[in-house]
Amino acid sequence: MIKSMTGYGSFRADFGGREIFAEIKSVNHKYSEISVHTARAYGFLEDRAKKFVSESIARGKVDININITSVLSDDTVVTANKAVLDGYLKTLYDYSLYSASANEMNIDTNIDYSLLLRIPDGFTVQKAKTDEEALWEDVKTVLTAAVENFTKMRTAEGEKLRDDIIKRLADITENVSRVDELSPLSAEKYRQKLTDRIKELIGNADEQRILTEAAIFAEKTAVFEETVRLKSHISQFESFFTFSEPIGRKMDFLTQEMNREANTIGSKALDIEITRLVLNIKSDIEKIREQVQNIE
C-alpha cells in the first residue's frame, strides 16, 4: 500500500470537563522528523506523543499539535500570600488611624474584596498537580483517532500517486517496445544508406565491406541489453505496489537506474524516431521521480 508523505488528520474529544484536541500535519522530507507542540505545563506528553506517532510514520516532516483545555474547578489552585496581604492591610489600617490626611480623604476602613484582588503578588494561581498517566491515556485516545484520519488521507493521496505512476510506466513500456522494433531497422537503414553512398561515389560497392561496416554500426547502436534492463526495472517497480512496508526510497533509487538506461539508449541512438521515443521515456521517468518524492 502506497502512502503519501503529505497529509493531515485531527480529532477532538471531551473527557469529563477536559477537552483535548490533536492535529497532525506532514510534508515531504528525506528522513523522519517529528515535532510535538503543546503547552509548557504538559511538556511531559511530548516524548510519549512523538514515540506513539512514529510507530505509524516512516518518513516525512511531521508536526503534532496537542491542545488541552480544562473547565474543572479542581484543576486550578489559588493561594493567598498572607504575608503580603497582611502587610498591605496593616499599613492601610495604621494610615487610616493616625494620618490626619486620611480623615480628610475619608478613607473607609471596610476593605472591599475587589481591592484585595488588585494587590500585586497577593494571590498565586497554579495548576493542580496533574495525574500524568491518566492524562496520557486520554491524549493517546485522541491521538489514535487523529492518526487514523491522518493515515486515511495519506493513503488516499498515495492511491492517486500510484495510478499516475502506473499510467506512466505503461507509456514507458510501450515506447521501449517500439525502440526494440526500430533498433534493427536502424542498422538496415544504415547499410542501405552506406551502399547507396558508395555507389554514388565510386559506382561499385564491395558488398562484404558494406556488411562488415553495417555489422559494426549495429553493434555500436544495439540497445537490446538496455531495453531488457529497463523493462526489468519497470517490472520491479510495479511489484512495489504490493508491498506493505514503505517503498519511497526504493522507488527513488529505481528511477535513477531507469534514467541511466534511458540515457545510454539515447547516446547510442542515431535514428531520429528512436531519439524522439527516448525523450518521451525520459520525460515520463522524470515525472515518476517527482511523484516518488511524495511517497513514504
Reported as a pLDDT band with limits 50, 70 and 90, residue 156 is very high
Q: What value does the mean pLDDT take over residues 18-25?
A: 95
Q: Is the dihedral of CA 250, 254, 257, 263 positive or negative?
A: negative
* Kind plus residue range of the DSSP H or E element containing 76: strand 76-80
Helix 224-239 crosses helix 248-268 at what angle (to 10 degrees)? 160
Distance of CA 145 to the CA centre of its chain: 19
pLDDT band at 116 (very low <50, low <70, confident <90, very high): low
Q: Which pLDDT does position 87 carry in this prediction?
A: 79
Q: Backbone dihedral region of 285: left (phi > 0), alpha (psi from -120 to 50 degrees) or beta?
A: alpha
What is the C-alpha separation between 208 and 101, in angstroms, rounded? Answer: 131
Please say if the pLDDT value at position 171 is more than 90.
yes
Please provide the average confidence, as pLDDT, over all residues in the chain. Answer: 82
Q: With bands split at pLDDT 50, 70 and 90, how would you rate the model's confidence at 184?
A: confident
Give the pLDDT score at 197.
60
The pTM (predicted TM-score) of the whole model is 0.69
Average of per-residue pLDDT across 246-255? 93
C-alpha cell at 33: 522528523
**Residue 240 gets which letter from DSSP?**
G
3-state secondary structure of 10: strand
Would the pLDDT of 32 be above 60? yes
| pLDDT at residue 30 tops 60 | yes
